[in-house]
Amino acid sequence: MEIKEEMIALASKLKIYQDTYYKEGKSLVSDSEYDRLTDRLIALEKEFPEFAAPDSPTKRVGSDLTNDFPEVQHSIPVLSLDKAYSDESVLDFFSRSIEKKGGELSFAAEEKIDGISMVLYYEDGILVRAVTRGNGSVGNDVTPNIVTIPSIPLSLPESIDIAVRGEVYLPKKEFEKVNATLPDDQKAANPRNLAAGTVRRQKSQEAARIPLDMYCYEGFWGDEEETPKDHLHIMKKLSDLGFRINPDFAFFARTKEEAEAKLKEAGLEGDGYGFNDIKDYISRMTQKRPTLDHEIDGLVFKINELDVRQEFGYTEHHPRWAIAYKFESPQAETVLNSITIQVGRTGRITPVAEIAPTALGGSTIKRATLHNQEYIDSLELAIGDRVSITKRGDVIPAVEEVVEKNEMGNTTYRIPLTCPCCGAELVHKGVHLFCPNYDCPDQAKGRISFFSSRDQMDIESLGPKTVELLWNNKLLKRVEDIYTLDYSKATEMKIQGIGDKTVDALKKGVEESKNRPYTTVLSSLGIPEVGTKTAKILSDGGFDSFEKLRLAAEKGDVEPFLAIKGMGEETAKTLIEAFRDPNLLKTIDALTSLGLHVSEEMDKKEEEDKAQIFTGEVWCVTGSFENFNPRSKALKEIEIRGGRTVSSVTGKTTHLLAGKGGGSKRAEAEKLGVRIINEEEFMLLLGIQIGEKKEEEPKQGFLF
Ligand code: IVH
């Protein structure tokens, strides 16, 4: 057999196998035979590209070539939809349209799939391009990834030119399955984000492994003659051409009977409704929404008659012949002015939306996190776009969607591939980009601020602002430098923002922090996955010193870590990597020689060393304190000195430590003759010098 014939025969065989498997769920051959034939055809296509069919079934498998998604011009307007948030507005759209037309109209109603908008371009019946919406006139060519979706026809039974619009999405169940296999820092927030990431995977082989699907909802024929007369017939035709259309289709006419008759005439499945049924339909779909196998964020109502669509035309942003009913109303709308890039303490890159300040839920929002490139892609977000924002969980502002594309021609934003702080080339780890340079100033400052923050080493007066000042004046470069700070130089330099008071408070804060327990030091180092809880689990599980952690990491075996209840594989791997990193080891060595608690043994020794001055005493604590905040800190000071603490004043209570407020307990103590101690006296008892009042710095955190 000639090569060309063999290739044609292989292609048609594979196509039949694929179609039968996908459409009927039946395998006509064994997996190994199928793979053998595919490999053979791939090899032949590589050797004889001139004989490769443009709709070859090998495209479904994807390849390991790197995609670069060139920008291409759309030949149809790819606009978004005007929005409605109530059934009245939908009814209003119906009646306005009918009035404008001055005659009868009918409307199609479809689910608004929450996925990635896609246009499939066919020439002479062959799929030539799959393009994202982009800014509506220019999108990205993502063909190699899209052709891996089995339900998308690579060729049509008719040799026509047609552009088909639809939504690429990941079914909810598949999302759960795929997401469960991803490590924590790569998990997607929702099916749409995972679908967006897949559509832009660099290797189509990887995209092929994610079971994306597509529903098609509009067709634009190259030849006007061939264009069906209305939406019903467009949908029927698309279905006949082999496109997948959503069976949840509804049709509205003056009466239910009329609607049903039209559906029947077009040969289309679906539910007929009269105009009066809009409210019912919307509430029915709202109820159905959670039971669907895919995410929808609204319903789309479209005028059925194509000549009317043409007559009504388009605004700058949307067709005048359609409207989207949205399930949730936006909280606020604003403009995306720019995107800034933050470098976190672990080197993680976070794009941040800088939006025109807008009031939302009692505060003014100027910024919102955009998480990563995948998130930006899923929104197809460009500078200058009008966006809607909400407060997730009532706290964190989030950009929900693009309401109107910008008119400057800006396309989807791409995060630059170099670190904005140090210029290093960024690296991909899962869905995030990282700056690999340990000495990157933003990372180093972030590490120090994290180390000293309230929930970690809690170093008074060493917040992000002071860290920044000390860093800029070269007095602080690494975490361990905190303990060898040259205070006299700091005073000498007369740094604005670091006065004598700050220096005093710093000295005291740094000194006190030397006594923090081992697990606090461990969690303060900022090792990914190792927070307060994990540090405690590790310590209780036998890794009660840095030395033990280092030795275990040296061996590179995850087993001793996994033997501890509550330890996962990811954390174990991260720990091994961290405790082999010369940078971390250098810091640990320095902290060890500086006398910080690098083992639990040191914690115990310190407790024993504390004079047991409160033995036999029973203390109750009330009110609020300047130096013991939260109050549990005061309780701890009493307990480690042998005292017992109780929550109410009784005849057995020997002392009441009374801070500000706390009226009723004080009265009770007075009545019972219990000794009342104020904060100042208590500090004297503990032998702690009374310092200046704390100057609070804002809690460290990247946006809020
Ligand atoms: S029709 C010219 N129908 O929603 C009219 N859009 O916010 C084109 N969408 O960009 C849109 N399901 O990506 C239409 N059944 C549906 C849809 C749908 C989802 C998306 C589409 C569009 C966006 C508008």
pLDDT digits (tens, 9 = 90+) for 228-277: 999 999 999 999 999 999 999 999 999 999 999 999 999 999 999 999 99
Rounded mean pLDDT of 309-333?
90
State if residue 110 touches ligand 1 by the CB under 6 angstroms criterion: yes
Q: Coil, strand, or helix at residue 392? A: strand
Buried b / exposed e along 536-564 (16+ C-beta atoms within 10 A): bbbbeeebbbbebbbebbeeeebebbeeb
Compute the distance from residue 81 Cα to the ligand 1 centre, in Å: 7
User: Quick check: CB of 587 below 6 Å from ligand 1?
Assistant: no
Residue identified by tokens 């004297």 is: 684
Cα 386 to Cα 355: distance, rounded to the nearest angstrom = 9
* 3-class state of residue 542 by DSSP: coil
pLDDT-derived band of residue 685, with 50, 70 and 90 as boundaries? confident
Which of 165, 248, 388 has most ligand 1 atoms within 8 Å of its beta carbon, as the pocket-test mutant?
Answer: 165
Ligand 1, pocket-test mutation among 79, 82, 112, 289, most atoms within 8 A of CB: 112
Whether the pTM exceeds 0.95: the reply is no
Give me the phi and psi of 646, to 5 degrees please: -130, 165
- pLDDT of 373 > 70? The answer is yes
The model's pLDDT over 10-34, given as tens digits with 9 standing for 90+, comes to 999 999 999 898 888 888 999 999 9
User: What pLDDT score does 691 carry?
Assistant: 52
- Phi, psi (deg, nearest 5) at residue 316: -55, -35
The alpha carbon of 318 and the centre of ligand 1 are apart by a number of angstroms equal to 10
Please state whether beta strands 386-392 and 427-429 pair in parallel, antiparallel, or not at all (unpaired): unpaired
Å from CA of 112 to ligand 1 middle: 6
Rounded to the nearest angstrom, the distance between the alpha carbon of 84 and the centre of ligand 1 is 14
Element (H or E) spanning 613, and its range? none
Residue 624 Cα to ligand 1 midpoint, Å, equals 57
- Mean pLDDT of the chain, nearest integer: 91
Distance 132 CA to ligand 1 centre (A): 13
The confidence band for 658, taking pLDDT boundaries of 50, 70 and 90, is very high
Query: How far, in Å, is the centroid of ligand 1 from the Cα of 305?
Result: 18
* Ligand 1 atom closest to residue 79's alpha carbon, by position in its atom list: 2
Q: Is 379 in the pocket of ligand 1 (CB under 6 A)?
A: no
- Give pLDDT, residue 536: 93
Residue 112 beta carbon below 6 angstroms from any ligand 1 atom: yes
Which one, of 262, 295, 399, lies nearest residue 339 by Cα? 399
- Which candidate, 200, 198, 178, places its Cα nearest to that of 187? 178
pLDDT at 304: 98
Q: What mean pLDDT do residues 558-565 have?
A: 94
* pLDDT value for 319: 94
Q: Which residue, 690, 660, 657, 659, is CA-closest to 675?
A: 657
Q: 236 or 397, which is more confident?
A: 236
Six token digits for residue 445: 């400052």
Q: Which residue out of 59, 83, 112, 262 is catalytically annotated? A: 112
Residue 144 has pLDDT above 80, yes or no: yes
Q: Quote helix, strand, coil % in the chain, to nearest 5.
A: 40, 20, 40
Enumerate residues 6+ apart whose C-beta is below 8 A from 534.
Answer: 523, 567, 571
| Residue 610 pLDDT greater than 90, yes or no | no
Instruction: Indicate if ligand 1 lies below 6 Å from the C-beta of 579.
Output: no
Residues 6+ apart with CB under 8 A from 197: 188, 374, 377, 378, 431
Phi, psi for 188 (deg, rounded to 5) = -90, 150
Parallel/antiparallel/unpaired status of strands 432-434 and 116-123 = unpaired
Q: Which atom of ligand 1 is nearest to the CA of 114?
A: 19
Predicted confidence band of residue 690 (pLDDT cuts 50, 70, 90): low
Q: Is 319 in the pocket of ligand 1 (CB under 6 A)?
A: yes
* Mean pLDDT, residues 275-295: 95
81 Cβ closer than 6 Å to some ligand 1 atom: yes
Residue 695: pLDDT above 50? no
Rounded Cα distance, 60 and 41, in Å: 13
Q: Do 535 and 521 contact (CB within 8 A), yes or no?
A: no
Give the C-alpha separation, 643 to 593, whole Å.
32
Pairing outcome for strands 432-434 and 396-404: unpaired
In angstroms, rounded to a whole number, what is the distance separating the alpha carbons of residues 218 and 231?
8
Nearest-angstrom CA–CA distance, 579 and 543:
12
Cα-Cα-Cα-Cα torsion 571, 535, 524, 343, nearest 10 degrees, comes to: 20
Ligand 1, atom nearest to 322 Cα: 5
- The atom of ligand 1 lying closest to the CA of 110 is 15
Under DSSP, the state recorded for 471 is H
Residue carrying structure tokens 């063909």: 143
Using alpha carbons only, how large is the chain's radius of gyration in Å? 33
How buried is residue 449: exposed, middle or buried, by Cβ count under 10 Å (0-12/13-18/19+)? Answer: buried
Residue identifier of the C-alpha nearest atom 10 of ligand 1: 80
Residue 385 near residue 405 (C-beta atoms within 8 A): yes
Confidence of residue 394 (pLDDT cuts 50, 70, 90): low
Give, for ligand 1, the residue of 217, 316, 385 to mutate: max count of ligand atoms closer than 8 Å to Cβ. 217
Q: Please name every residue paired with 491 in a beta bridge, in sequence order, or none if there are none.
A: none
Cis peptide before 397 (omega within 30 of 0): no
- What is the identity of the amino acid at 19? D
Indicate the top mutation candidate among 76, 169, 300, 304 to test ligand 1's pocket, ranked by most ligand atoms within 8 A of CB.
300
What is the pLDDT, as a whole number, of residue 37? 94
Cα 144 to ligand 1 centre (Å):
23
Q: What sign does the CA torsion over 173, 174, 175, 180 have?
A: positive
Alpha carbon 12 to its chain centroid, in Å, reads 42
Confidence band for 696, pLDDT divided at 50, 70 and 90:
very low
Closest C-alpha residue for ligand 1 atom 12 = 112
Question: Does residue 112 carry a catalytic annotation?
Answer: yes
**DSSP letters spanning 136-201:** SSEEEB-HHHHTT-TTS-SB-SS---EEEEEEEE--HHHHHHHHHHS-GGG--SSHHHHHHHHHT-
302 is written with which tokens?
């479209």
Query: Is the pLDDT assigned to residue 704 strictly greater than 80?
Result: no
Whole-number Cα distances in Å, 54 to 8, 21, 314, 404, 559: 11, 21, 35, 36, 51
Pocket of ligand 1 contains residue 295 by CB under 6 Å: no
